[in-house]
Every structure is written in structure tokens, then in C-alpha cells.
Chains A and B, each alone.
Chain A
Amino acid sequence: MAIDINEDNLKHGLLGLVIAIVEIIRDALKHQALRRMEGGSLTEEEIERLGRALEEIDIAIDQMKEEQGVSDAVKQVRDGLDDLVDDVLDQIINPEGWEEETKLKDI
């Protein structure tokens, strides 16, 4: 990931990073909540409370992104992280192929 830093976009980029992390934690929360519900251990009232709370978090995050104008920045960070994870997995699955690719660039 190439980062082009200047004063203007430093705060912007940092905020994008922070909110991206918040979103990832939020997603993990949703995942866990879903598992609990599917596990059958929650009452209808508990499910109602859980759903409302999660929806409020969604709305708060969307609002934050809009107010700060960082929706694109957040998406970029998350897409970048996805690519990073893909690359690491590629390395693990095929270490020789990755080595070959880096060697060819400098015969």
C-alpha cells in the first residue's frame, strides 16, 4: 500500500484507519450476536435488545463517516487490508511462486 502523506490528508487518512477498525470490530460483534441467536440461548426480548443496539451502532458509524467525509478513505483501508491478507495467504500457499516473482524483477 503506497501512502502519499501531506498535512491535509494525514488527519483524513488516520480517521479512515480508525473507523475502518471500528467497523471490523462491529462486524465481529454482529457475527457473535448472530451465533448466540442461532444457538438458541437468547429470549425474544434479548434478541430485540441486541438488534436495536447493533442497528444504532450501524447508524452512528454511517453518520460519522458522512460528517467527516471519510467513507472513501475507510473503503480504501478495508480493501487494502483485504489485498494484504490475500498476499500473505499467497505467500504461505506458494512460497516459491512468490520468490520467483520477486526475483524476476531483478535478474
Chain B
Amino acid sequence: MAEARYVYCIVASPQKVKLGKIGLDGNRVYTIPYQDISAVVHDCNAKPYESKDSEEVKNWVITHEKVVETTWGRLGTVLPFGFDTIIKADKDKGAEEVVIDWLKGDYQNLREKLHKVKGKAEYGVQVSWDTKFISQLLTEKDEELEKLSEEIKSKPKGVAYMYKQKLEKILRGKLEKEAEIYFKEFYERIKKCIEDIRVEKLKKEEEPWQMLMNVSCLAYKKGVEALGEELDKINSMEGFSVRFTGPWPPYSFV
């Protein structure tokens, strides 16, 4: 007995629609409407999709994303949910009823959110810099560091090592300060082009590259041109690199 519903997203559509066997493991995906919004679901058991096989999990996640994209294309504005969002039946209510009660209870909130993302898409922006290159620039411009750098060449091994540690410590401090300044600057420049922005966690990169900024942007398809231009400018700065992805359904703005 299918005591639960796997939820892919909410869509701004009142239609009771079957989307076909496009769900995880080929499950039939369909909509459960409440007034002018619907939940996009497939019937499932009341336990999460888990697997030790990372390929299997990867395929599930890809399928999940495809269902959200398909819904977006066919039915309208979507509020995507993350992978493995499952609504279970209550002791006195079936799963379908629980879904409808949830849509009913959260209706205002969901409609507001749908309205907020209507006509827009999510874009990912990651800016990284070459810490080796930037460190060199910073050293050249700084008297104290240049002096230290020179002294290191003429000192005996042990002292040179300790001076090098000191140099690296000062450089780390300067890099941190520069990173903050650049972050703030880029953030303002990017924010001007788009409708909304979320700051995400920085990802680890291979040395000497270091991620400076990781943001999710919500933009109209037309606003993306301005964003692209701004990012091109940043990317062409020496020692900087920009990764620009999208359009995605607005996962980060739910």
C-alpha cells in the first residue's frame, strides 16, 4: 500500500495532470491540486530513498531534477523541493489527504513564494582567485613584505625558515582582508543586476585556487545579460576566475 507521497515540487497550476512514468525508479508522476496550486508527486512507501550505491543515488537526484524541469516547462512556475522530501499518511488520514491539508494550511505562504519566483530562474555564481598570484601581487606592493622577502635570502637556514613563517602569516592576514573587500564589492555589483541573492557555503578548491564567493542569484531571463557582463569583467581580472551556471529552477529561494 502506498502510504506516502514523494514530493518533487509545488507548481502554480490548478490542473490535475499525469506527467507519465518519469519519476524515481520509473514511478508515475502526477499532480495533486488545491485551488490554483498543485503538488507534483509519485506514490511511494513511507521511508526515504537511501542506497549504498552512489551511482543509484546520483541517478535518483538527476531524475528528481528532471521531473522539476519538466514540470517547469509544461505547467508553469515551480517551487522545487530537495531530494527525498516525503509526506507520510497520518493515523486517520491517507497520504493524499495529508498533502491537500498541507497545501491548504500553507496556501498563502506557497502562493507568495510562487509569485516571488515567477518568470525568474536561479543562477549560480562562484568567484575564485589564485592565492599564489595574488600573494605575489600583495608582496610586491607592500614595503614590509618586500623587505622581509629580501632579508630571508640572506639569513641562515633556521632564521630564514622562521622569517618565512612570519611572512606567510602576514600574507594570510592580508589575503583575508583583500578577500573580504572583494567579496563586498562583487556582491554589490552582482546584486544590482538581479532580483534576489543568497550566500552559499564556499567549496574547497585545488591549491593555489581558493573560492572567494558562492552565491545563488534569482533573475529574470533578461537580467541575466547584465549579470553576464558584470561577471565577464570580474573573470577578466588577473588572478580571478568566475563559474556561472544556470538557469535552474529556484531551489535556493523556496
Which residue numbers of A lie inside 8 Å of B, CB to CB? Answer: 30, 33-34, 37-38, 44, 47-55, 79, 82, 86, 104-107
Within 8 A of A (CB), among B14-68: 48
B164 to chain A, nearest CB (A): 9
Check B156 for interface membership: any CB of A closer than 8 A.
yes
For B87-117 the 0/1 string (1 means CB < 8 A from A) is 1100000000000001000000000000000
Please count the residue pairs between chain A and chain B whose beta carbons lie under 8 angstroms apart in the complex: 54
Smallest distance from the beta carbon of A86 to chain B beta carbons, Å? 7
How far does the alpha carbon of A107 sit from the alpha carbon of B156 in the complex, in Å? Answer: 65
- Known contacts A79-B204, A104-B82, A107-B86: A34-B166 contact under CB 8 Å: yes
Judged by a CB distance under 8 angstroms, whether B243 is at the interface is: no
Given contacts A47-B158, A48-B156, A51-B161, contact A107 B204 (CB under 8 A): no
Considering the chains assembled together, what is the distance between the CA atoms of A79 and B205 in angstroms? 11
Q: Is A47 in contact with B162, judged by CB distance below 8 angstroms?
A: yes
CB-based nearest B residue for A37: B162
Q: How far is the CB of B74 from chain A (nearest CB, A)?
A: 25
Q: Which residues of B contact A50 (CB under 8 A)?
A: 158, 162
Beyond the given A34-B165, A52-B157, A55-B157, could you list 18 further A-B residue pairs with CB under 8 A, ordered by the A residue number?
A30-B165, A33-B162, A34-B166, A37-B162, A44-B159, A48-B157, A48-B159, A50-B158, A51-B158, A52-B158, A53-B158, A54-B165, A86-B201, A105-B48, A105-B82, A106-B48, A106-B86, A107-B85
Across the A-B interface, give the 10 residue pairs with the lowest CB-CB distance, nearest first: A51-B158, A48-B158, A51-B161, A52-B158, A51-B162, A55-B161, A48-B159, A47-B159, A47-B162, A107-B87
Which residue of the partner chain B has the closest CB to A83? Answer: B204
Q: How far, in Å, is A75 (CB) from chain B's closest CB?
A: 9
Q: How far is the CB of B97 from chain A (nearest CB, A)?
A: 14
- Chain A nearest CB from B50 CB (Å) reads 11
Q: How far is the CA of A26 from the CA of B102 in the complex (A)?
A: 55
Q: Would you give 12 A-B contacts (Cβ < 8 Å), ordered by A?
A: A33-B162, A38-B166, A47-B159, A48-B156, A49-B158, A50-B162, A51-B157, A51-B159, A51-B162, A55-B157, A105-B82, A107-B102
CB proximity of A90 to chain B, nearest CB, Å: 9
Q: Which residue of chain B is the closest to A87 with respect to CB atoms?
A: B201
A33, A55, A104, A107 — most chain B CB neighbours (10 Å): A107
Judge if B160 is at the interface, Cβ distance under 8 Å.
Answer: yes
CB-defined contacts of B196 to chain A, threshold 8 Å: none
Q: In the complex, what distance in Å separates the CA atom of A49 from the CA atom of B162?
A: 10
In chain B, what residue has the closest Cβ to A49?
B158
Residues of B within 8 A of A53 (CB): 158
Determine the distance from Cα of A47 to Cα of B160 in the docked complex, in whole angstroms.
Answer: 9
Chain A CB within 8 A of B189 CB: no
B10 CB, min distance to chain A CBs, angstroms: 13
**What CA separation (Å) do A88 and B158 show in the bound complex?**
38
The smallest beta-carbon distance between A52 and chain B, in angstroms, is 4
Query: B177: CB under 8 A from chain A?
Result: no
Residues from chain A with Cβ under 8 Å of B201 in the complex:
86
B192 contacts the other chain (CB 8 A): no
Interface status of B230 (Cβ within 8 A of chain A): no
A33 and chain B: residue at smallest CB distance: B162
A51 contacts B166, C-beta separation under 8 Å:
no
- Does B3 reach chain A (CB closer than 8 Å)? no
Contact B84 A105 (CB under 8 A): yes
Asked if A51 and B160 make an inter-chain contact with CB atoms under 8 angstroms apart, the answer reads yes
